[in-house]
Amino acid sequence: MAVTERSSITDDLGDDEVQATRAASAASVDDESTNPPNDAHLQRHIAVLKDKIAARYRQGKKQRKGDGDGDSSPAFISYFDDVDFHIRSSILDGSITEPFQLHFKGPTLEAEIKTRERARRQLIRENILSRKLSGGGDDRDGDDAQEQLQKEVPFDNSPLPTSFSGLYVATWMAVGLSVVKFVLDYYWDSHHRFMQWEVVDTMTTGLFRVAAMDAAMYLATYVVFSVQWLCKHRVLKWYNAGWWIVALYEPLFVVAFIYINDQVLEFHWIARIFLFLHSLVLLMKMHSFAFYNGYLWSIHNELQEDRASLARLQDIAAVSDDKAIETTRSTLNKSLEFCRFELESQSIGGVSFPQTITVKNYFMFTMFPTLVYQSEYPRTEKIRWHYVVEKLFAIFGTIFVMIVTAQVFMYPVVLRCTAVRESQWTSWFERLVTWSGLLVDILPSFIAIYLLDFYLIWDAILNCIAELTMFGDRYFYGDWWNCVTWDEFSRIWNVPVYKFLLRHVYHSSISTLKLSKQQATFMTFFISSVVHEMAMYVIFKRLRFYLFCFQMLQLPLVAISNCAFFRGKPIIGNVIFWIGICIGPGLMCTLYLTI
């Protein structure tokens, strides 16, 4: 995934628009002049800038700094426009937890209904009184008048403000009591104490060795920081040695630790997958840090070259009246303005690049719950320790529920799956029938594990880390449960990874490899599918490509969900989406275990 970010993001324009913009820009330059001044080095620099400017500027829109002052030059597209960070809470906290803790007052529906009834009765009385005062009342047809008033003053049927906070409490109470029952039943059936459970025994084996290896992986990421630090002190140049060191080190980092954890240290599968997933997190952090600063190195060098070129141009202008000089000066000034903006927008408290490359800055980035590096992030004012304690209880409570679910419901089915795999092969049909039965048995528990895993990682753990580091942006996931297409799910299920893929895979493949948006989408899904298949290999030690195929199947499914039949039918789309979510994980597990 070592892709060089050498130019700005072009996703704001379509493929045809990008080509048209590039052609228009080149044509406008050619109309004004055929060649820049007769200086070979300057000519090469201007030729490079022409392509960059075509991709950087939106035609027909004003520049950021020129808005409102009559400047009609096009606005440029910053490399940093694709990903934004703001102070915001997570969805579950903002929609459920915080309203429950801060605004819960018990039942409110009855009081609201009575308030509306009283208001309606008051309106009816006022209507009757006004009729009598105006002389329009008639006692002989009072029933008809009352019926007429009922029609004239209808009951307020607007939606009532309701709260389901009590069901929130009841749900967790039901989960807790069910877990207690399952633990007791399992103990009386197997006579195994909790610490003797196979799942618990596997998880707790070699904890200190796993922690030591995790620390070693983290320290190994400082190789990438060292490369940037050496570039800062002019020992290395990024686009010579620096780029190649990082590009070779990143895949070596992942492959080496997969081999060490499996073949040398012989960790169990839970430790292997934990370390593999954490190595991917560290890989993405390394890549983002390296190529973010690599991009700024290119901008920094371009700025220096622009200044030197303007100085040379000044010397040429003193002895020549070539009309191309003004065109060249305009091109250099555009580049100069863009480079200044990019560097200034990433400065920290007046400290600009490359002085932002410090150990403290890198260390804090590795602690933040994000995979996309930038020099500054929105921060909260203080740590809410009661919130940290709440999330710690959520973390360990959820892990306990997952252990019980895995041991009581999933582990027996897994044993049956491995028995089928090791049994004598008879026929595809017989194995398929057996596999279907195992799939039905494992689905309910796998759905529970899937949802608990989501809550554990993306809400409990990431919010706890964010609070401890005072990281302000808690948008780690969207309302993925409402998805109607798979492309929506890929964007909002795991927002940190999506942001990384958006900037460092999708946009980089467009700007560097000159791919179309469709080709860049395919590449992004392909890389994601390869990594998911690697995870399956780490767990099962089997290379079957089941998950790879199902991941790539999302591309045609997205096309189908966007066809005319499904467009405008969000309920059908959401039902189909949930069928995939409920069946998919269990399907993958049983396939890898049995076939």
The residues that are catalytic are 532
Residue 280: CB atoms within 10 A of its CB come to 16
Q: How many residues does the chain have?
A: 595
Paired tokens of 508: 């980089």
Give, in order, the Cα–Cα distances in Å from 501 to each of 84, 268, 273, 526.
Answer: 14, 30, 21, 11
d(CA 239, CA 241): 6
Q: Copy the structure tokens of residue 121.
A: 């009765």
Burial class (CB in 10 A: 0-12, 13-18, 19+), 155: exposed
Tell whether omega for the bond before 354 is within 30 degrees of 0, i.e. cis: yes
What is the C-alpha to C-alpha distance for residues 135 and 91, in angstroms, rounded to an integer?
Answer: 59
> Residue 270 corresponds to which amino acid?
I
The per-residue DSSP string of 419-470 comes to HHHHSPP--HHHHHHHHHHHHHHHHHHHHHHHHHHHIIIIIIIHHHHHHHHT
Q: What is the residue-wise DSSP string for 493-546?
A: SSHHHHHHHIIIIIIHHHHTT---HHHHHHHHHHHHHHHHHHHHHHHHS----H
161: cis peptide before it, omega within 30°? no
